[in-house]
């Protein structure tokens, strides 16, 4: 970036005009920090975005994926992934401390920023009080690219320990398509039956895609 005028260099540009004035590649160049003898940080950032298909692809990448790009390595890959995760958490931290999940749409709005678009399937549970306000959210199982093994006892162990009156269970589909599988529907049936026995309401099972969701409650499965 030595060829750029000082005011056009990403870091100086951010300090002078604010982060909103920078392009995706310029922001990423600041996260990367420095380049190599053959490529500066902006070149590395451009190549990362090209390889991953833009910012969305960065969020689905692993450290090993990013380290394949010249000039990145595992340390810089970790920096990029940390920045992506901070962005996700920023979306969540702007919400009320204890949001109330009154509908499937509320639940999806709460869950998608943090758990939608993940590269690996995760199954989690949102613990709710008697007014369906969030107590906490926990991941109970992580799987491969297309499957997660979860048992009702895993869900209700968390619910009992957390003194939850109700739960919303959720998992993501790394494919981006939130359509539930027959296995998802069968698991929902088992969880609902277990909840009746435990006295803990299963409010919904939300399947998360990248930016879309599917509610088993809206489908009439709960």
The residues, any chain, with a CB within 8 Å of residue 33's CB and separated by 6 or more, are 41, 76, 79
When pLDDT is cut at 50, 70 and 90, the band that residue 10 belongs to is: confident
What pLDDT score does 2 carry?
54
How do residues 181-200 score in pLDDT, each as one tens digit? 999 999 999 999 999 999 99
Q: List the structure tokens of 132.
A: 């369906």
How do residues 134-178 score in pLDDT, each as one tens digit? 999 999 998 876 666 888 999 999 999 999 999 999 999 999 999
The model carries a pTM of 0.66
- β pairing state of 134-142 and 122-128: antiparallel
Q: How many residues does the chain have?
A: 222
Residue 31 pLDDT > 80, yes or no? yes
How do residues 88-114 score in pLDDT, each as one tens digit? 777 665 555 678 999 999 999 999 988
What pLDDT score does 213 carry?
97
Give the distance, in angstroms, between the CA of residue 79 and the centroid of all CA atoms in the same chain.
Answer: 17
Domains annotated for the chain, with CATH where assigned, are 6-92 (1.10.150), 96-215 (3.40.140.10)
How do residues 49-76 score in pLDDT, each as one tens digit? 888 888 878 878 888 888 888 888 888 8
């Amino acid at each position: 970036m030595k060829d750029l005028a000082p005011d056009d260099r990403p870091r100086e540009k951010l300090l002078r005009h604010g982060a909103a004035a920078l392009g995706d590649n310029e922001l990423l160049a600041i996260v990367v920090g420095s380049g190599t003898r053959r490529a500066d940080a902006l070149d590395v950032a451009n190549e990362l975005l090209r390889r991953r298909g833009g910012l969305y692809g960065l969020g689905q990448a692993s450290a090993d994926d990013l380290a394949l790009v010249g000039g990145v390595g595992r340390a810089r890959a970790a920096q990029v992934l940390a920045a992506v995760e901070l962005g996700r958490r920023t979306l969540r931290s702007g919400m009320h401390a204890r949001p109330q999940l009154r509908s499937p749409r509320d639940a999806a709005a709460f869950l998608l920023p943090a758990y939608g678009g993940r590269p690996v399937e995760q199954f989690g549970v949102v613990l709710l009080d008697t007014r369906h306000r969030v107590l906490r959210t926990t991941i109970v199982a992580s799987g491969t690219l297309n499957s997660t093994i979860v048992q009702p006892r895993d869900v209700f162990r968390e619910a009992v320990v957390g003194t939850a009156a109700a739960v919303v269970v959720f998992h993501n589909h790394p494919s981006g398509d939130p359509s539930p599988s027959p296995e998802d529907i069968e698991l929902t049936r088992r969880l609902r039956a277990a909840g009746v026995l435990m006295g803990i309401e299963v409010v919904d099972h939300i399947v998360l895609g990248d930016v879309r969701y599917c509610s088993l409650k809206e489908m009439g499965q709960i």
